[in-house]
Amino acid sequence: MYENLIYLDNAAATRMDERVLEAMKPYFFDVYAVATSQFGYSIGLDAREALDNARARIASALGAEPEEFIFTSGDTESSNLAIKGVALALGDKKGRHIITTPIEDFPVLHSVRTLERQGFRVTYVRVDETGRVDLDHLRESITPETILVSIQTANQEIGTLQDIRAIGEICREKGVLFHTDATHAFMRVPIDVREVPVDLITVSAHTIHGPKGIGGLYIRKGTPIKKIMDGGFQEFDFRPGLENIPGAVGFAKAVELVTPEETARLQRMRDRLLERLLNEIPHTRLNGHPVHRLPQNANVSFRFIEGESLLLHLDMRGIAVSTGSACFSRSLEASHVILGIGGDHERAHGSIRFTFGRYNKEEEVDIVVEAVKEIVHELRRISPLGKD
Amino acid sequence: MPLPYSEIVMEHFRNPRNVGRIEDADAKAVEGSPACGDMVAVYLKVDPETHVITDIKFESYGCASNIATGSIITELAKGKTLEEAKKITWKQASEALGGLPPLKVHCSVLAVDALRAAIENYEERHGLVKEREPTTVEFVRKRLKHVMNPLVGLDIVRTKLVKEIEVKDGVVRVVLDIPPDHMFAPTMKEDIEEKLRHRWDVKQVIVEFAG
């Protein structure tokens, strides 16, 4: 259907791998039963085994024990549970102060805003112009009332990686829980809970060629957290509801299929794209950090033009990207990430995000560069800006 | 699912007419600013005897609907007298384009405003204006009819979002009936400020939310 499509919006959703579908299939048609207790019937025991194996596989990718990983419906639910669950457990006992950054993705940002309206105090720790957290400001911001620090591993738009080890150590030293949203970093940059002092990690299958609608939350043993949905006792009594076993199996398969070699290949394509765009098109700038960034992410602002126009022109040529322009968003608001790192509306207006995945081919990079060059040139010809 | 834009919009977006600058223009106007998002510039050549628009060009820093409206507006205005061109409405431009998505109305209104502003600019330069109109409550209300409520694609006056207008000593105060954390509050605030702060007798524009 989209035969010649060049898809560069892998941060939003990835094409699922056929091998993932093959792994999932038996759990729709053969082993479709609920995961029963160990005293249940055979088909239920097989379902239980599949779920346990999937859990163990994903947990080990984080260096965690199986019982420290629970399945959810995706990163939105995981981050809601992490933040609101800790607030429920500690809000009355320890305090009502939470620390995060102004550039988090919406599940984190809007969860803390909801708590803010209920009387919690939130500190948005400063980030520099590349999006990196000011560690001194973080340290100063922690008070005896602080119950949670939630800082992402990698940014969804500009790809900036945080020093989660340093952040975790500060939190550990001050006795505060640390949650990180690793939706975009999981499997693309190493995260090992035996080395990094982190208590809660949000992950999702949709960014690594797994199925949509399945994600997970790492919960370090002993972390004070309460469930936020009521129902049965599934997922170690943290997340009620019938288990999504095909999803869990698909997620585990997706984890298994990501290799460091593949990530290196994505990075080479990304590097070539960035090098050519920044060198060959004047008045462009990189958004995010030049070194501490996701290997598969490029984010560039083109001055004097608007992102939705560029996006539509690229779409007409069969290239799919994303933009931080206000015109493109449902709320007509410019990217809070670009504004959050001190950029103005103009920079957000002309920002384009390119994110690579398994199905991108090396030769696509040059096709995209040539297309962007032509379109930017044409849109600048129309633009009243940048001519004097 | 097809794009939310009509084929005519896409055609004008792909091949905008009358793009560029007129170096020896008889009048010009720029609406919007890089800070608020979209921006449109309109340049006019006018026959001094007949007041017919003999040439018109536009430039756009904006999204597809902004570019397409700029393009169609130049086609609609070319060959018309200033009086006729002044009466071109956003609705006519939108109809000529086969309709615009409600959310995008505010980006496209700019082009219509820029055309009118360019005509006013010509009239001012050529002594065709009798008197400068003072900014009154009624004038503000008229201007606010060009500020869109993006949720429904209708202006904020018609959708009864304007609770109060006050004009006093060059300070314009507009109170909107929406909460300050409404998803479109910042957009509407910027739009209102942009529409009024360049008036000759306006020193300050204050937008308040009382929803």
Q: What are phi and psi of B141, to 5 degrees?
A: -60, -40
- Are B39 and B31 in contact by the 8 Å Cβ rule? The answer is yes
Binning pLDDT at 50, 70 and 90, where does residue A331 land?
A: low
CB < 8 Å from A in window 158-177 of B:
none
Q: Mean pLDDT across chain A, nearest whole number?
A: 96
pLDDT at A388 over 70: no
pLDDT given for residue B57 in this prediction: 97
Q: A300: how many CB neighbours lie within 10 A of its CB?
A: 20
- In CATH, which superfamily holds the domain spanning B137-209? Fe-S cluster assembly (FSCA) (3.30.300.130)
- Whose tokens are 């698909």? That residue is A250
Distance CA A38, CA A28 (A): 21
Nearest partner of A27 among A300, A248, A205, judged by Cα: A248
Helix (H) / strand (E) containing A309: helix A307-316
Distance CA A70, CA A67 (A): 7
DSSP 3-state assignment of A201? strand
| CATH 3.90.1150.10 domain extents, chain A | 259-382
Is the confidence metric ipTM above 0.90 for this complex?
A: no
Nearest partner of A223 among A163, A271, A175, judged by Cα: A175
Helix (H) / strand (E) containing A319: strand A319-320
Residue of A nearest to B42 (CA): A384
pLDDT given for residue B151 in this prediction: 66
For the residues of B114-154, what is the DSSP string, one character each?
HHHHHHHHHHHHTT--SSPPP--HHHHHHHHTTSEETTTTE
C-alpha separations of A160 from A1, A7, A331, B112 in Å: 34, 21, 24, 41
pLDDT at B194 over 90: no
Contact A382 B67 (CB under 8 A): yes
In chain B, where the domains are located:
7-125, 137-209
pLDDT given for residue A332 in this prediction: 66
pLDDT given for residue B103 in this prediction: 74
pTM: predicted TM-score of the whole model, two decimal places: 0.89
- Which residues of A have a catalytic role annotated? 327
Q: B33: how many CB neighbours lie within 10 A of its CB?
A: 14
Residue of B nearest to A329 (CA): B103
pLDDT given for residue B34 in this prediction: 67
Q: Which residues of B touch A347 (CB under 8 A)?
A: none
- Whose tokens are 């929803």? That residue is B211
- Are B91 and B62 in contact by the 8 Å Cβ rule? The answer is no
- Are B106 and B153 in contact by the 8 Å Cβ rule? The answer is no
Highest average pLDDT, of A211-215, B6-10, B108-112, B120-124, comes from A211-215
Distance CA B27, CA B120 (A): 9
pLDDT at A95 over 70: yes
Binning pLDDT at 50, 70 and 90, where does residue B197 land?
A: confident
For A18-257, CATH number out of 3.40.640.10, 3.40.630.30, 3.40.50.300, 3.10.450.50 equals 3.40.640.10
- Are A214 and A74 in contact by the 8 Å Cβ rule? The answer is yes
Q: Which residues of A touch B60 (CB under 8 A)?
A: 382-384
C-alpha separations of A45 from A32, A56, A143, A316 in Å: 11, 16, 48, 51
Binning pLDDT at 50, 70 and 90, where does residue B185 land?
A: confident
pLDDT given for residue B36 in this prediction: 58
Check if B63 is active-site.
Answer: no
Contact A382 B16 (CB under 8 A): yes
**Chain A to chain B Cβ contacts (< 8 Å):** 74
pLDDT given for residue A181 in this prediction: 98
Of the candidates B19, B36, B61, which has its C-beta nearest A385's C-beta? B61
Residues A159-194 pLDDT 10s: 999 999 999 999 999 999 999 999 999 999 999 999
- Are A73 and A66 in contact by the 8 Å Cβ rule? The answer is no
Q: Tell me A305's DSSP state.
A: S
Count the helix, strand and coil residues of chain B and give each as a percent rounded to the nearest 5. Answer: 35, 25, 40
Q: What is the CA radius of gyration of chain A?
A: 22
- In CATH, which superfamily holds the domain spanning A259-382? Aspartate Aminotransferase, domain 1 (3.90.1150.10)
| CATH 3.40.640.10 domain extents, chain A | 18-257
Alpha-carbon gap: B170 to the closest alpha carbon of chain A (Å): 28
Nearest partner of B162 among B189, B183, B187, judged by Cα: B189
Long-range contacts for A235-244 (Cβ within 8 Å, ≥24 apart)? A235/A70, A235/A71, A236/A67, A236/A70, A238/A70, A238/A81, A238/A85, A239/A70, A239/A71, A239/A72, A239/A77, A239/A81, A242/A34, A243/A34, A243/A35, A243/A47, A243/A51, A243/A71, A244/A71, A244/A73, A244/A213, A244/A214
Q: Which residues of A touch B178 (CB under 8 A)?
A: none
**B32 part of contact set with chain A, CB < 8 Å:** no
Q: What are phi and psi of A189, to 5 degrees?
A: -130, 145
Q: Which one has a higher pLDDT value, A345 or B9?
A: B9
What's B7-125's CATH class?
Answer: alpha beta
Query: Identity (one letter) of the amino acid at B81?
Result: T
Contact B60 A326 (CB under 8 A): no
- Are A13 and A357 in contact by the 8 Å Cβ rule? The answer is no
Walk across the sheet containing B162-168 and list its strands: B162-168, B171-176, B204-209
Distance CA A385, CA B93 (A): 24
Alpha-carbon gap: B101 to the closest alpha carbon of chain A (Å): 12
Of the candidates A327, A332, A385, which has its C-beta nearest B34's C-beta? A385
